[in-house]
Amino acid sequence: MSESNATPADETIPVDHAFSCENCGHRWYYTRSRCPNCAKNEVETYKLSHGELVVRTEVSMTPPDVRTPNALGLVRFGDLTLIAQLADDVAEVGSRVTFTGEHRLRDGDEFMGPRLTSV
Amino acid sequence: MTSVTISGVGITQFESAAGRSILELAATAAKRALDDCELSSSNVTSIHVGNALGTRSGLGNALASTLSMEGVRADRVENTSASGASAAHRGVEAVASGESTVALIVGVEKMSHGETSDVTESISQLVHEREYVQGLTLPSFGGLAASAYLDRYDAPRDALATVAVKNHKNAADNPIAQFREQITLEEALESPVVADPLRLYDCCPMSDGAAALVLSSGDGVKVTSIGSATGTHAVADRTDLLEIESVRTAGERTFDRAGLTPRDVDVACIHDAFTILELLELEELGFYDRGTAWEATLNGETQLEGELPVNPGGGLKARGHPLGATGLSQIIELTWQLRGDLPDNRQVPDATTSFAVNVAGFGNNSVCTLLES
């Protein structure tokens, strides 16, 4: 499962990766400066596999450097939940999804990354 | 601890683009608050400014000087859209502890200061870094939460629109409100989509405006309790998208300290930056069971003449939402209600206990206030 060592607050971790605590095994997605369960600093990252689309929205009024409309989904990956951009093929709540491709999530090369697509 | 009272209140017009500078707005509200009480500027020992965007640094110091109050303690509190209530919280603590005998609280924002896109970008940066990458904005969370709520509770879209219609109706008779025209259910339902299923009339505007309180231990409306709490930074980190832990925790702290419950409240100001938030917060605070606030809204229970009047001044939705001033505008509305200052068509009869919740971001932080006459 483990792909690399990282700091819990490492913002360079790809958007399709989550964190796992080396000490207690607790997992989380949104960067923190330490494990929310045991407060230790040693973490690993791992690539998320498949999730389920729980709810979606299509945002028509977006920031100037974000696509319009911006389809977003709240997705459950096991015990983790995150919100990410949906590819055009993801329509139905309950769909099985995974991160794929290389897309411009916002303007700027630092914001290239995968979107959620149907499996 | 010294008991704290609201001795005076003052507020400016809430509008899309004020002709005055942010300092002039703040000073105007402050002078009106001082004129509203028997205390003078020489009695003030501390100034606490609530301001979110920070378009002018040193605002508290400039305000002290323009009001000829040099020598007082002054500071600025930033807590995004709850900056106003957080400034009030700091002022209440200052008076209650004896650190300050008379505290002047001023909330102010001039959102028309820059380009709309710049302001939107500034606000969008309050989300978590991994949310920012995805282009998430506050309306995005509102759209997701509204979609989940309507689906889980099989609630009709009309319930959200009814919140908007109610709050616009309440603002129609509020002279400081940004929007004073009533809207119909059809207009709300057919307005442009912002974040499906939320439409334009489900969302608060960007506003300019200022509001001020004079806090002391003298005569006035009693600040019975005030409490704050943070929640998760990332919205998806929450146990449930429809739960706002910061609202629940701040509410529990505030009610518990006062020995009161939601059933004791006669009138409430709820942070309705989006219509869905009014429903979620009413449920989170215990005014209604989960999944039932939409029915209460459709049944008219939250109307001005209902069992629990909610946002009698129009709320963020129609009174306007100048970030740093919003929390204080809620407290001022409730002060007017408790003092019986308002004309019959605005007044909640016999109100003695009131409650406000001011929320930062989409629940990153919340501040609750209980007032009694």
Distance from the Cα of A73 to chain B's closest Cα (Å) equals 8
As a three-state string, the secondary structure of B218-270 is: CCCEEEEEEEEEECCCCHHHCCCCCCCHHHHHHHHHHHHHHCCCHHHCCEEEE
Q: Please tell me which residue of chain B has the smallest CA distance to A110.
A: B133
| Cα angle value B356/B360/B361 (rounded, 5°) | 135
Strands, sheet with B353-360, edge to edge from the N-terminal-most edge strand: B73-77, B46-50, B103-110, B208-216, B5-11, B221-230, B365-372, B353-360, B267-270
Q: What share of chain A has pLDDT > 70, as a percent?
A: 91
Of B129, B134, B194, the CB nearest to A60: B194
Element (H, E) at B7: strand B5-11
pLDDT confidence band for A109 (50 / 70 / 90) = confident
DSSP state of B274: B
Contacts of A59 in chain B (CB under 8 A): 135, 137, 139-140, 143, 194-196
- CB of B185 within 8 Å of a chain A CB? The answer is no
Of A29, A30, A61, the CB nearest to B194: A61
Residue pair B197/B179 in contact (Cβ under 8 Å)? The answer is no
Gyration radius of chain B's alpha carbons: 19
- CB of A5 within 8 Å of a chain B CB? The answer is no
Q: What is the biggest distance separating any 2 CA atoms in chain A, rounded to whole angstroms?
A: 43
Burial class of A89 by CB neighbour count within 10 A (0 to 12, 13 to 18, 19+):
exposed
Distance from the Cα of A4 to chain B's closest Cα (Å) equals 19
Rounded to 5 degrees, φ, ψ at B295 are: -70, -40
pLDDT tens for B204-224 read 999 999 999 999 999 999 999
8 Å CB contact of B136 and A11: no
Q: Please tell me which residue of chain B has the smallest CA distance to A108.
A: B133
Q: Which amino acid is at B232?
A: T
Structure confidence at residue B173 (pLDDT):
96
- CB of A74 within 8 Å of a chain B CB? The answer is yes
Residue pair B287/B262 in contact (Cβ under 8 Å)? The answer is yes
Confidence check: pLDDT of B349 > 80: yes
pLDDT confidence band for A6 (50 / 70 / 90) = low
8 Å CB contact of B128 and A84: no
Confidence check: pLDDT of B130 > 90: yes
Look-up of token digits 């002391």: B216
- CB of B118 within 8 Å of a chain A CB? The answer is no
Confidence check: pLDDT of A104 > 50: yes
Structure confidence at residue B74 (pLDDT):
97
* Alpha carbons B92 and B5: distance in angstroms, whole number: 9
pLDDT tens for B165-194 read 999 999 999 999 999 999 999 999 999 999
Within 13 Å and on the Cβ side, how many CA atoms surround B190? 5
- CB of A6 within 8 Å of a chain B CB? The answer is no
- Which pTM was predicted? 0.96
pLDDT tens for B223-232 read 999 999 999 9
- Give which of B314, B281, B2 is closest to B169, Cα–Cα: B314
pLDDT confidence band for A1 (50 / 70 / 90) = very low
Structure tokens at B240: 């449930």
Contacts of residue B200, defined as CB under 8 A and 6 or more positions apart, other chains included, come to B191, B192, B193, B194
Structure confidence at residue B227 (pLDDT):
98
For an interface test with A, give the residue of B127, B131, B140 to mutate (most A CBs within 10 A). Answer: B140
pLDDT tens for B255-308 read 999 999 999 999 999 999 999 999 999 999 999 999 999 999 999 999 999 999
8 Å CB contact of A60 and B134: no
Residue pair B117/B309 in contact (Cβ under 8 Å)? The answer is no
Give me the torsion for CA of B206, B14, B280, B184, rounded to 10°. Answer: -90
Average pLDDT for chain B: 96
DSSP state of B55: S
Distance from the Cα of B245 to chain A's closest Cα (Å) equals 16
Residues facing residue B279 across a β-bridge: none
Confidence check: pLDDT of A7 > 90: no
Residue pair B25/B209 in contact (Cβ under 8 Å)? The answer is yes
8 Å CB contact of B237 and A105: no
Look-up of token digits 């629990």: B308
Q: Quick one: average pLDDT of B15-35?
A: 96
Confidence check: pLDDT of B252 > 50: yes
Look-up of token digits 């505290």: B103
- CB of B124 within 8 Å of a chain A CB? The answer is yes
Lowest mean pLDDT among A90-104, B189-203, B249-263: A90-104
Contacts of residue B65, defined as CB under 8 A and 6 or more positions apart, other chains included, come to none
Could you give the C-alpha distances from B337 to B275, B341, B354, in angstroms and in order? 23, 6, 8
Contacts of B140 in chain A (CB under 8 A): 57, 59, 70, 72, 83
Contacts of B237 in chain A (CB under 8 A): 28-30, 81
Coil vs helix vs strand at B127: coil
Q: Quick one: average pLDDT of B159-163?
A: 98
Structure confidence at residue A9 (pLDDT):
57
Element (H, E) at B357: strand B353-360
Structure tokens at B342: 């308002």
Distance from the Cα of A40 to chain B's closest Cα (Å) equals 19
For an interface test with A, give the residue of B133, B150, B364 to mutate (most A CBs within 10 A). Answer: B133
Contacts of B136 in chain A (CB under 8 A): 72, 83
Residue pair B52/B323 in contact (Cβ under 8 Å)? The answer is yes
Strands, sheet with A4-6, edge to edge from the N-terminal-most edge strand: A4-6, A43-47, A17-21, A27-28
Contacts of B240 in chain A (CB under 8 A): none
- Give which of B2, B1, B11 is closest to B214, Cα–Cα: B11
pLDDT confidence band for A49 (50 / 70 / 90) = very high
Residue pair B316/B272 in contact (Cβ under 8 Å)? The answer is yes
Q: Quick one: average pLDDT of B106-127?
A: 82
